[in-house]
Structure 1
Amino acid sequence: MFRILKNLKGNPRICILIEPLWSIPYNLYLPYATVFMYALGIRDAQIGFLLSIGMVFQVAASFAGGVITDKLGRRLTTVIFDITSWSIPCLIWAFTESFAGFAVAAVLNSLWQITNNSWTCLLVEDCEKEKIVDVYAWIHFTGLLAVFFAPLSALLVNSLGVVAAVRRLYLMSFVLMTLKFLILFCFGKETQQGKIRKQETAQISYRKLFSQYGAVICKMIHSRQVMTALAFMALMNISVLITGNFFSLYITRTLEIRESWIAVFPTIRAVIMLVFMLCMQRWVNRLPFRRVMMTGFLFYLVSQLVLIFARAESIGTVLVYTCLEAIGYALVMPRKDSLMSLCIDVRERAKMTALLYVGMIGISVPFGWITGWLSSISGELPFVLNMVLFLTGMIIVRINKTLKDYDRKYYRF
């Protein structure tokens, strides 16, 4: 991996090297985000409503992302919407004390879907095809390494309390993330495809560019591969939404585990995933796609059962859940991502990527409010919903013809 990084040039190398400036602060504040809101008087249903508000605007941002990325170029789009969707919300989160403030931050933060599109194009468009998998491996790798800084937030919470500590984490995030965005803008370059698309769209109005989505939508609807990828994207996005926003509340309120422990579990999860990536991923990649996906969903399913039936103050049980969930993630997520990469038409990468995220987020929108409502009834219910999602994933893996064709094409067993 280090030899690959040394040989990378241009945007992929810059993106990888500066990614920790975003991933480290993000992983410092993320475990405490909902606990921070709850401490300021924002309740379960309101948290769920904020998630739904954010996803509604994410749908619009994803839809606009492809056109804006082509029109402004990958580099300019990335710096504008990175600052708008991450730097400014971090400042708002650092100082707000009201539901309205969190709502405004949620709307602005939803614009990350635009930069998600443009940044992905910056990352891969000028990269040699045979190195794309390795580039993504490095992005995941830096994200996992960032989690090892999470215990620092636990120390800060222990000494200052949740509210004061998280406010400082948001301010630090503003500084580091903004630095990252400016470095990428100054030292990154517009991709060759980005230059072509800027020239092609220079004299075309935004209205006409949006109208071109129609043909791409029809093409996607009639593609079994695209619909399969969308199904897995939606299922896993809803699951990440549930776990990311209600796990901390559940273990602190229902299981009565101290808040200082919140940051420990992501660190343990990262250790397991790093060991898996470095020691087992190459072996697992040789196994049939469906078999690995089914096993991953089974690990996910068992992890939810362990969490639901955990006793109060049972840190050991939560650690078991963390291990099982990490293995499930390591098995399922890379294959979900590979399906998305294989089904995209490279000539319409920006538009098709945008529309896939539109579909994924559109399906997920109601589940922010639903999960908040379920959590207000009982802390276990969001994770029961997770079980339903994973069972649905297992059914799709079992009966889907696209995945059977995928196994026949890429595996011999």
Structure 2
Amino acid sequence: MRALEDLPRNARNSILLEPLWAVFATPLLYYAPLYMSSVGLSGTQIGVLGSLGLALSFVFQALAGPVTNRVGRKRTTLWGDLISWTAPMFVWAFAQSFAAFAVAAALNASNRIVGVSWSLLVIEDVQERHRARVFAILNLLVTGCGLLTPLVGLVMAGHGVTPTLRALYFAGGIGMTVMFVWRNALTSETVSGVAARAQHRELGVLQSLRHSLAEVAGMRGHPGLMGVTAFYVLTVFLEQLSLFQILFLGRTLHFSAQALSYVPVAGVAVTVLLYALVLPRLAALPVTRALVLTRALGLVGAVALLFVPAGQLGVMLLVVSLLGGATFLTQTYRDAALFARLPGQGAADLYSAVQTLALLCSVPAAALAGAVFTASPRALFVLIAGVSALLLALAVWLARRDPRPTA
């Protein structure tokens, strides 16, 4: 609680309530490919669903800035969460076909709107020097809920993958709804959100969209934003390629569902250590230099995954934990670097624009991953190692061009 004392109301209350979302989302997102496979979907179908979700997300992302500005950060977050999380949770709970999963993917894709509104609701009123800490705490909480995955794994071992995850999806629909309404009662519109609503209130929908596009067109006028945007886009592309990691560990390296349930637990241990021991030391570095270190760690992990012996649980957990730690640090400093370069006016539009570009470039990633994985699982992770190397090179370039001496 002491770590939250100097944070404004929105950030503090959002952090306190985040576990009520993550306790369901973390294990369900982790086991999602396994769940889809258990009801009969092929690797190609799973990849197509991923690309379908990204394609629809692109449409919703284009609307995220105008909707957030017109409706407000707070109201958009409430209604967006109910549509993009509560509704698909219940669809997933009863899904038995590709069509049902496609409907759930379409609903969940609308979370691209709430992704903008929620991020701004949480972070806009936070001082820049505290933003990396807020992102780190939120990421830590989400990762920490991975401790539940072994319990879910034990239940799956006794009752089966499909019935266990159906029950968890249904419970998640109820639990998340409670959390969304509660958080809405404890947060308030941000200062920038009030100003944006006043500015966009008199504009029609098309006028609001044109205004947002005008803000995006001026992206080059904000120093460093283009480079950080490129880094952001490539990390999202890498995340989509990595969706098949659990299937690679299970099908190719022959680890059981119970063994795979320990992966998030190891990730939690590494994340806690990074938060307690590494983040305080990296705080003295410029954000872009911290990104170089995190991506070097990610490249080492991506290459090491190719050499994990089949069935060697200890080695697998060590390598996957290394990758999880790199992802945690990358997301923390990537988001801090991006928000540091967003202006107070037009932040919703520019943040939405960055995510839109990320989606546009990542639409083929899931389908590509599915096709490559079906042809050769190991080839997919060679590709992931290559993208990791490219990210490291981009991080080095950003660090060399960053004129600021401190984070």
Q: TM over 0.5, yes or no?
A: yes
Q: Does 1:152 align with 2:147?
A: no
Kept in 1: contact 2:132–2:333 (CA 8 A): no
One-letter amino acid matched to 2:388: F
Q: Report the equivalent of 1:404.
A: 400
Mark the CA change 1:54 to 1:219 in structure 2 (over 3 Å): closer, same or farther: same
Secondary structure of the residue that 2:346 maps to in structure 1? helix
Q: Which residue is 1:121 aligned to? A: 120
Equivalent residue letter for 2:233: A
String of CA shifts for 1:242-261, please: whole Å, max 9, x gaps: 22x21111111111111122
Q: Deviations over 1:293-351 (max 9, x none)?
A: 33332322222222222232221221121232134234433332222112211111111
Aligned letter for 1:341?
F
Alignment match of 2:389 (pick from 388, 391, 395):
391
1:201 corresponding residue in structure 2: 200
| 1:51 shift after superposition | 0.7
- Partner of 2:309, secondary structure, is coil
2:302 aligns with 304
Alignment partner, residue 84 of structure 1: 83
Describe the superposition over 1:117-162 as per-residue Cα deviations: whole angstroms up to 9, x where unpaired.
1111211233344443333232123223222222221121111111
Larger CA deviation: 78-87 vs 279-288? 279-288
Gap change, CA 1:319 and 1:288, over 3 Å in 2:
same
1:58/1:110 contact within 8 Å kept: yes
Cα distance in 2 for partners of 1:115, 1:83 equals 10
Give deviations 1:22-68, integer Å, cap 9, x for gaps: 01111121221101101111111111111111111111111101110
Q: How many residues align?
A: 407
- The residue type paired with residue 67 of structure 2 is I
Aligned-pair RMSD on alpha carbons?
A: 2.0
Q: Give distance in 1, aligned partners of 2:290 and 2:197.
A: 41
CA shift at 1:180, angstroms? 0.8
2:56 aligned partner, one-letter code: F
CA deviation string 1:172-198 (max 9, x = no partner): 111111111111222322223222222
1:409 counterpart letter in structure 2: R
Matches within 5 A, 1:192-231: 192-221=191-220, 223=222, 225-231=224-230
Q: Partner letter of residue 322 of structure 2?
A: L
Cα 1:297–1:124 change in 2 (3 A) is: closer
Q: How far apart are the structure 2 equivalents of 1:387 and 1:74?
A: 37
Answer yes or no: is the 8 Å Cα contact 2:253–2:311 preserved in 1: yes
The 2-side partners of 1:200 and 1:216 are apart by 13
Of 359, 362, 365, the residue aligned with 2:363 is 365
Alignment of 1:9-158 (within 5 A): 9-158=8-157
Deviation of 1:288 (Å): 5.7
| Percent sequence identity over aligned pairs | 25
Task: Tell me if structure 2 keeps the 8 A contact 1:306–1:320.
Answer: no
Distance in 1 between the 2:152 and 2:159 partners?
Answer: 10
8 Å CA contact 2:26–2:143 kept in 1: the answer is no
Query: Does the 8 Å contact 1:94/1:167 carry over to 2?
Result: yes
Change (3 A) 1:305 1:138: closer
Alpha-carbon distance in structure 1 between the residues aligned to 2:5 and 2:211: 40
**2:288 & 2:388 partners in 1: Cα distance?**
14
Contact 1:44 1:372 in 2 (8 A): yes
Q: What is the match of residue 280 of structure 2?
A: 282
Specify whether residues 394 and 129 from structure 1 end up closer, same or farther in structure 2 by C-alpha distance, changes over 3 A only.
closer
1:273 aligns with 2:271: yes
Judge conservation of contact 1:31–1:263 (CA < 8 Å) in 2: no
User: Quick check: 2:10–2:121 contact (8 Å CA) kept in 1?
Assistant: yes
Of stretches 313-322 and 346-355 in structure 1, the one that deviates more from structure 2 is 313-322
- Bigger drift between 303-312 and 70-79 goes to 303-312
Partners of 2:210 and 2:83 in 1: how far apart?
Answer: 26
2:257 partner amino acid: E
Runs of 5+ consecutive residues of structure 1 not aligned to the other structure: none
